[in-house]
Amino acid sequence: MVNLSDLFQESRVYHPGQIITREGEKDRDLYVLSEGTLQVLVKGDDGDVVVSEIYPPEIIGEISFLNGSPRTATIKAKTQVKVYILSYYKVEQELAEIPPWFKLILRTLTQRMQSCSMKIKEMEEELRQIKGTL
């Protein structure tokens, strides 16, 4: 098993209710959840809505890390959590050395992931609205 502390320069502990990332922010750091449970929230008509939970080991923020787009969801600690953090700006030079053809593949994959994420978000909102009318 990979020792996360060997790969990542920083770790942080969050307590229940603390926000790790906020939907719409332009932060590019990558997080790896190693302990605890996180909630994924998206903005709905009636405020933030919990759409899923994340359990270790899980990567958070990969789309923003790879293509610089704003965060697609708010991530909040449900329990006490420990995350390892990879600062985009600390590895930016190494990422610049990726061959152009591979950057194209990464860009395409992240755009498709982001598109799927947006479609899921829209479908979840439609489902909530349907449930509200029943």
Total structural domains within the chain:
1
pTM: 0.75
CATH of the domain at 55: 2.60.120.10
The answer for residues whose C-beta is within 8 angstroms of residue 112's C-beta and 6 or more apart is none
- Per-residue model confidence as pLDDT tens digits over 107-128: 888 888 878 877 877 787 788 7
Domain range spanning residue 98?
A: 4-133
What per-residue confidence (pLDDT) applies to 37? 98
> What are φ and ψ of residue 79, in 5° steps?
-125, 180
* C-alpha to C-alpha distance for 42 and 101, rounded to whole angstroms: 33
